[in-house]
Amino acid sequence: MRNHLSSNIEDYLETIVILSNENKAVRVKDISKKLEVSMPSVHSALHVLKEQKLINHEKYGYVELTKKGKMLGEKIYEVHKKLTEFLNKVLNIDTKIAELDACRLEHGVSPQTIERLILFLEFLNTNQNSKLISEFIKFIKKKKK
């Protein structure tokens, strides 16, 4: 996902989306725990997100997404989920590894490549192509032997 935010700040925004979907109230310590970063790091990122008008946050208060922040964060999260699905279901990568690699992919390849991977996933998910995925997985297992 390419825009004016760094990959690190995108990760914070995505995390806030995930946490706000799980709980109504998102706290700094929740973000810190989820990303395994220090509280001062979270505060620095929140400052950037607040400057970009993507969140509302008062000192010691909850973190709330603005309309713009929610839209952008959900877009980033959707790309992450699709890339994870591609890696896990199409390439048969372990779920935990797929999660980590999806994060690296979303920040390390061009938007065109991400778009094509997602379109390819959608193409493979159609009924007439679903057999192709299962045949590929069989091929992988055969090659491992």
| pLDDT score recorded for residue 23 | 83
Domain check: are 79 and 140 in the same one?
Answer: yes
Distance in angstroms (rounded) separating the CA atoms of residues 139 and 133: 10
Domain check: are 89 and 112 in the same one?
Answer: yes
Domain that holds residue 93: 75-144
| pLDDT score recorded for residue 2 | 43
Assign 140 to helix, strand or coil: helix
Assign 121 to helix, strand or coil: helix
pLDDT digits (tens, 9 = 90+) for 111-136: 999 999 999 988 888 867 777 888 88
CB atoms closer than 10 angstroms to residue 61: 11
pLDDT higher than 60, residue 1 = no
Domain check: are 81 and 38 in the same one?
Answer: no
Residue 86 lies in a domain: yes
Domain check: are 140 and 82 in the same one?
Answer: yes
Contact between residue 13 and residue 76 where contact means Cβ atoms under 8 Å apart? yes
CATH of the domain at 15: 1.10.10.10
The model's pTM is 0.84
Domain check: are 33 and 59 in the same one?
Answer: yes
Residue 2 lies in a domain: no
Angle, CA 4 vertex, CA 3 and CA 10 arms, to 5°: 75
pLDDT higher than 80, residue 3 = no
pLDDT digits (tens, 9 = 90+) for 50-69: 999 999 998 888 999 999 99
Domain check: are 66 and 89 in the same one?
Answer: no
Domain check: are 54 and 80 in the same one?
Answer: no
pLDDT digits (tens, 9 = 90+) for 91-103: 999 999 999 999 9
Domain check: are 38 and 92 in the same one?
Answer: no
| pLDDT score recorded for residue 124 | 86
Of 124, 84, 121, the residue nearest 102 (C-alpha): 84
Residue type for 12, please? Y
